[in-house]
Amino acid sequence: MFTRTSPSTGPNSPEVTGFYDPDTGSIMYVAADPATKKAALIDVVLDFDPAHGRTRTDSAQEVLDFVEAQGLNVEWVLDTHPHADHMMASAWLKEKTGAPNAIGEKTRDIAELWAKFYNLPEAFDVDRDFDRLFADGDTFKIGEVEVKVMLHPGHTLGSITYVAGDAAFVHDTFMHVDAGTSRADFPGGSSKDLWDSLQSILSLPDETRLFVGHDYPPVGDRTDPAWEATVAQHKADNKHLGGGTSEADFRKLRDDRDATLKLPDRMLYALQVNLRGGRLAPTEDDGHSYFKIPANKF
């Protein structure tokens, strides 16, 4: 797995290691406080093979192997939103580490929306499956590093950013500077909300390191995945926003591009798992779990 570490810049600045999952283009993060060796795991993937309906924990185990090798103590298992393109390893990581798992409180609203799409009115209990549901403005700590939660909808109606000192985990809002921004056409999303969220992120200090949720190389001449750039770099060079793009121009670009995109191949599988905190549906009388996939709804 391709990995890269962004070093701490001093007190209240985490060391951030990203792990690239080529199957989904996702970046998983370990944010660690060098002073205390406490860490948070962010947006870690539960591997899934759609052709065989099979889950694996290889990627999550690789993250845990890194944590052990570095002598880190996991304090939090965090997700930024119920992902559409991969399953979250939240429940498995909670079991393995004993750390509480968390996501944004508006995941309740996302669960209500998707319970209707799946026709599973009693399937999802977000309060049961997550230990903490963060509201906009909530704070907590990773070791001695202060973390602030910011609500940043657009990609979904309940996506949140974790601002940990000078590092911000901005999920599916920005892509890397040479790729632009993320789609906003999923149920509950909108380009208007995404624009507002992007502007909120750009209001952070220029030196803030932004860590994005996805990359899909090759991009131009770049063949390796990339996921870190500063606020200042995005202001100047982001493909969709750099140099002062207007809201109207951005929204037209985003809406036109989104109209050409297919649904992720894991989406209808992933959301019914992620809205259970990374758990499969309860086993049936043969000892197996089953996915429910709506036909002709999308």
Residue 236 lies in a domain: yes
Residue 280 lies in a domain: no
Task: Compute how many other C-beta atoms are within 10 angstroms of the C-beta atom of residue 72.
Answer: 22
Q: For 108-164, how does the pLDDT look when each residue is reduced to its tens digit (9 = 90+)?
A: 999 999 999 999 999 999 999 999 999 999 999 999 999 999 999 999 999 999 999
Look-up of token digits 């992120």:
201
- Residues in Cβ contact with 193 at an 8 Å cutoff, skipping those fewer than 6 apart: 153, 154, 157, 184
Residue 193 lies in a domain: yes
Residue 283 lies in a domain: no
Residue 38 lies in a domain: yes
* Percent above pLDDT 90 for the chain: 98
Nearest to 98 by CA among 78, 81, 122, 74: 74
* Mean per-residue pLDDT, 78-106: 98
Can you give the pTM of this predicted structure? 0.97
Stated as kind and residue range, the H or E segment containing 273 is: helix 267-274
Categorise residue 230: left if φ over 0, alpha if ψ from -120 to 50, beta otherwise.
Answer: beta
Q: The domain that contains 58 carries what CATH number?
A: 3.60.15.10
Residue 276 lies in a domain: no
Residue 286 lies in a domain: no
Look at the chain and report how many structural domains it folds into. 1
Is residue 142 within 8 Å of 39, Cβ to Cβ? Answer: yes
Q: For 213-261, how does the pLDDT look when each residue is reduced to its tens digit (9 = 90+)?
A: 999 999 999 999 999 999 999 999 999 999 889 999 999 999 999 999 9
